[in-house]
Amino acid sequence: MGQLKKNIITIAYLLAILPVIFLTGCNSDGPVIEQPEKIYYDLAQRRMKANNFFSAIESLQAIESRYPFGRYAEQAQSELIYAYYMNGEDEASHEAAEKFIRLNPRHPNIDYAYFMRGIASYTRDKGMFARVFKSDLSNRDISGAKQAFSELSEFLTRFPQSQYAPYASQRLIYLRNLIAKSELVAADYYLKRKAYVAALRRAKYVIENIPNTSETIRALKITRECYEKLGYFELMDDIQSIIDTNQQ
């Protein structure tokens, strides 16, 4: 799965740089004297092909700082997103994606930046995701998962036909279930301590904000129990009817 993810990210990167390769290779006005900016860019390409992403980042940063309005400036900004990500610098990749979105909102490959922003958030907190089912989550901060969910959701809303949409959709399914499970672990924690209002708040968050997950029925059952303990029997019966309908 890890290799598949890297392959998808690499394909996304190659699709994003195609326009600049095409434009560079199709100059019909005769020989062009290479400028220092292009030398930096070509060096960055060679370094990335060699998987030397640390050095590629240095070359791309040089283009950004020395030629901020040059021919390769936008492309360097885009490729920094990828280079940071492949170098394991998820925070820097996320910041680079944010910067690209802010500076180039009408770029033809802006969907790539939105996609990578969400993926960087997802990968950045992957360690927490891996532990999410193995520990007491009642006090665990899952803001990273929620941020990744929000960013990938925005990407799909803006670019439903993007070539990156299928992969983003897969990550969203995982994140939806993870966030729902985390919220319900906290709800159970409060339920056991008879903090019914707090438990109810967590369960209702799942029902209202993360519907149609593997945890929906569990959230409804916790809600029903909270209403019963709080003496809201009419609401309890309403929830039971919903549970019965969904379990048929």
Encode pLDDT of 44-83 as tens digits: 999 999 999 999 999 999 999 999 999 999 999 999 999 9
* Nearest by Cα to 225 from 210, 209, 239, 213: 239
* Nearest by Cα to 213 from 182, 239, 188, 248: 182
Q: What is the pLDDT of residue 60?
A: 97
Confidence of residue 138 (pLDDT cuts 50, 70, 90): very low
Q: What is the pLDDT of residue 160?
A: 97
The pLDDT of 120-144, averaged and rounded, is 64
Q: How many domains does the chain have?
A: 1
Q: What is the pLDDT of residue 198?
A: 97
CATH of the domain at 64: 1.25.40.10
Asked whether 113 and 78 are in contact (CB, 8 A), the reply is yes
Q: Give the domain range for residue 106.
A: 1-17+33-112
In a domain, 218, yes or no: no
Asked whether 221 and 173 are in contact (CB, 8 A), the reply is no
The pLDDT of 168-188, averaged and rounded, is 92
Between 168 and 178, name the one with better pLDDT: 168
Between 157 and 122, name the one with better pLDDT: 157
Amino acid letter, 73: A
DSSP SS3 for 110: helix
In a domain, 244, yes or no: no
The pLDDT of 117-138, averaged and rounded, is 66
Q: What is the pLDDT of residue 128?
A: 53
For residue 69, the number of C-alpha atoms closer than 13 Å in the C-beta half-sphere is 0
Q: What is the pLDDT of residue 2?
A: 59
In a domain, 45, yes or no: yes
pLDDT digits (tens, 9 = 90+) for 11-52: 566 555 544 444 444 444 555 445 689 999 999 999 999 999
The pLDDT of 178-204, averaged and rounded, is 95
pTM over 0.85: no
Q: What is the pLDDT of residue 214?
A: 84
Asked whether 227 and 196 are in contact (CB, 8 A), the reply is no
In a domain, 59, yes or no: yes
In a domain, 92, yes or no: yes
Q: What is the pLDDT of residue 29?
A: 52
Burial of 211 (0-12, 13-18, 19+ CB in 10 A): exposed
Q: Is the pLDDT of residue 215 over 70?
A: yes
The pLDDT of 79-93, averaged and rounded, is 96
Asked whether 99 and 120 are in contact (CB, 8 A), the reply is no
In a domain, 76, yes or no: yes
In a domain, 213, yes or no: no
The pLDDT of 153-179, averaged and rounded, is 95
In a domain, 145, yes or no: no
Q: What is the pLDDT of residue 126?
A: 62
Q: Is the pLDDT of residue 145 over 50?
A: yes
Q: What is the pLDDT of residue 6?
A: 61
Asked whether 193 and 142 are in contact (CB, 8 A), the reply is no
Amino acid letter, 49: K
Residue given tokens 């922003």 in the structure block: 117
Q: Is the pLDDT of residue 132 over 60?
A: no
